[in-house]
Amino acid sequence: MSERTLARLFRTEFGMTYPQWRTNVRVFHAMVLLAEGATVSETGHQCGWATTSAFIDTFSRTGGQTPGACRIGPPQ
């Protein structure tokens, strides 16, 4: 199977591209970590973002709120 065919089938099956799906999975995992009390910086690093600002930007665009709004625990 070609890469293009696989990409087309993935989009048909899941309604999004593989990179979109992967970002959604990473943001969901980040939400779990934040709910458990992890800091925004720790969470971004553990979920694979190179910088905290990139994590906050992607999280906000994908989730509709900042990661700090999802966080449980004392403020950073």
pLDDT value for 70: 85
Average pLDDT score, the chain: 92
Q: Is the pLDDT of residue 75 over 60?
A: no
Question: CB under 8 Å to 76, separation ≥6 — which residues?
Answer: 39, 40, 41, 68
Residue positions counted in the chain: 76
Q: Closest by alpha carbon to 25, among 73, 63, 64, 66?
A: 63
pLDDT digits (tens, 9 = 90+) for 18-50: 999 999 999 999 999 999 999 999 999 999 999
Cα gap 48→50, rounded to integer Å: 6
pLDDT greater than 60 at residue 53: yes
Decide: 76 and 43 in contact? Cβ < 8 Å: no
pLDDT at 1: 86
The pLDDT, as a whole number, for residue 73 is 61
Q: pLDDT at residue 76 above 90? A: no
Residues 61 and 5: their CA atoms lie apart, in Å, by 29
